[in-house]
Amino acid sequence: MTETRVHFYQVGSFAVGNRLLSDADRTVQASQERTNSLDAGHRACQGCGEALGARYALDAAMRATGGRLVAVNATGCLEVFSTPFPETSWRIAWLHSLFGNAPAVATGVAAAMRAKGRDDVRVVGQAGDGGTVDIGFGALSGMFERNDDVLFICYDNEGYMNTGVQRSAATPPTARTATSEARGPEPGNVFGQGKDLPRIAMAHDIPYVATATVADLHDLERKVERAMTFRGARYLHVLVPCPLGWGAASADTVRLARLAAESGFFPVFEAEHGVVTGVRRIRRRVGVEEYLRPQRRFAHLFAGEGRPDLVARLQALADANVERYGLAPEEE
């Protein structure tokens, strides 16, 4: 496994400061030439992680493909807030069909381009976690299995936020949602359920699978760029905090995404043809509590006497991630 040594730090964060980098190493977002694929004026909430993630990913994909890109969107927040017609925030060719079929629609677009001899046009499918791990799962698995030439991006905010914060198969244990209320002996979402879609994607032996967060722009952009060097099915799973659904401050979106990774609760790695080829090692490890406390969806874990037993079980999940992917900081 490889790791990237980071040389530059901004004050107060671990992100790389663009001003200290050579032009070639700067992010796409830092460039005035970026597409602004998802342009200003959309109706996302303040601090929306998905809006950030989508613009980061698509701008990077646009650069990687020289602007030869079509995006297919599942129903969900991203679709609703981006196209309040007669306005649209999309500066790229964009199609929305249904909630559960975005991977298959993307396959169709790719097939059409191939049939027309327009192989230069690349296709990105995108959905939230509901459209990916739940209702779109069958279509996604089919697209993976056929190795169709599509990069599918899941913007994972761990629940059905568009319909009012209900539980999905990507909701973490103990998290309160409108369909997993913080009541009873097992408050919030229960342990022992849920899908680990990056690993399921890897089990399809597709060329490229990666996870990323909106806290690490360089890493996210590099993975999109890497994904675009492959033909065939590729999967990128981006953690995008949701201030509304998580009960967090809008200003904390990037901080929470970073804490998710730095606690090991959300493992950041990449894999090629089913084998892990790189991980983003934790630089300064934090306990899960530091990640959980700022989020009201976990408030019941800390109210009154709290539920240290449940926090310990969540910590165990993070520890298992650190173990599985070798995420521990070098000094540990």
Partner 1 sequence: MLQQLEGSRAIAETVARCRPEVVCAYPISPQTHIIEAIGAMVKDGRLAPCEFINVESEYAAMSVSIGASAAGARSYTATASQGLLFMIEAVYNAAGLGLPVVMTLANRAIGAPINIWNDHSDAMAVRDAGWIQLFAETNQEAADLHVQAFRLAEALSVPVMVCMDGFILTHAVEAVDLVDQAVVDSFLPPYEPRQVLDPDDPVSIGAMVGPEAFEEVRYLAHLRQLDALELIPSVAEEFAALTGRASGGLVHPYRLEDADTVIVAMGSVLGTIKDAVDARREAGERVGVLGVAAFRPFPVAAVADALRRARRVIVVEKAFSLGMGGVLATDVATASPASGPDLATVVAGLGGRPITRRDVEGIIERSARGTLPRLSFLNLDEDVVARERARMAASRRSGPFAENVLRDVAAGGAHR
Contact string 15-54 vs partner 1 (x = CB under 8 A): ----------------------------------------
105: contact with partner 1 by CB under 8 A? yes
200: contact with partner 1 by CB under 8 A? no
Q: What are the φ and ψ backbone dihedral angles of 39, each rounded to 5 degrees?
A: -85, 170
**Site size for partner 1, by CB under 8 A?**
45
Cα angle 326-49-43, degrees, rounded to a multiple of 5: 165
Torsion of CA 300, 303, 306, 310, to 10 degrees: 20
Please identify which residue in 6, 8, 13, 84 interacts with partner 1, judged by CB under 8 A.
84
Minimum separation from the CB atom of position 235 to partner 1 (A): 16
How many CA atoms within 13 Å lie on the side-chain side of 20?
9
**Tokens 């680990």, residue?**
196
Minimum separation from the CB atom of position 204 to partner 1 (A): 12
Minimum separation from the CB atom of position 116 to partner 1 (A): 7
Both tokens of 71, joined, read: 């995006």
SS3 of 41, please?
A: coil
Query: Which lies closer to partner 1 via its Cβ, residue 43 or residue 285?
Result: 43
Site for partner 1, residues 119 to 178, rule: CB under 8 A: 121, 138-139, 141-142, 145-146, 148
Query: Which lies closer to partner 1 via its Cβ, residue 148 or residue 216?
Result: 148
Please identify which residue in 36, 97, 166, 179 interacts with partner 1, judged by CB under 8 A.
97
Provide CB contacts within 8 A for 161, sequence distance 6+. Answer: 77, 128, 242, 244, 245
Query: Which lies closer to partner 1 via its Cβ, residue 99 or residue 325?
Result: 99
Per DSSP bridges, beta strands 150-156 and 122-128 are parallel
Minimum separation from the CB atom of position 118 to partner 1 (A): 9
How many CA atoms within 13 Å lie on the side-chain side of 157?
34
Minimum separation from the CB atom of position 150 to partner 1 (A): 10
Minimum separation from the CB atom of position 86 to partner 1 (A): 9
Please identify which residue in 38, 48, 78, 79 interacts with partner 1, judged by CB under 8 A.
79
Which 3-state string (H, E, C) describes 101-137?
CHHHHHHHHHHHHHHCCCCCCEEEEEEEHHHHHHCCH
Q: Which stretch binds partner 1 (CB under 8 A): 6-14, 81-89, 173-181, 243-251?
A: 81-89
Please choose, from the candidates 225, 179, 173, 306, the residue with its C-alpha nearest in 3D space to the C-alpha of residue 56.
225
Strand partners, 180: 177
Q: Which stretch binds partner 1 (CB under 8 A): 61-69, 184-192, 226-234, 297-305?
A: 61-69
Minimum separation from the CB atom of position 30 to partner 1 (A): 23
What is the number of H-type helices and E-type strands within the chain? 11, 8
Q: Which stretch binds partner 1 (CB under 8 A): 47-55, 62-70, 297-305, 307-315?
A: 62-70
**Tokens 């760029």, residue?**
225
- Chain residues binding partner 1 by CB under 8 A are 67-70, 72-73, 79-80, 83-85, 88, 90-98, 100-101, 104-117, 121, 138-139, 141-142, 145-146, 148
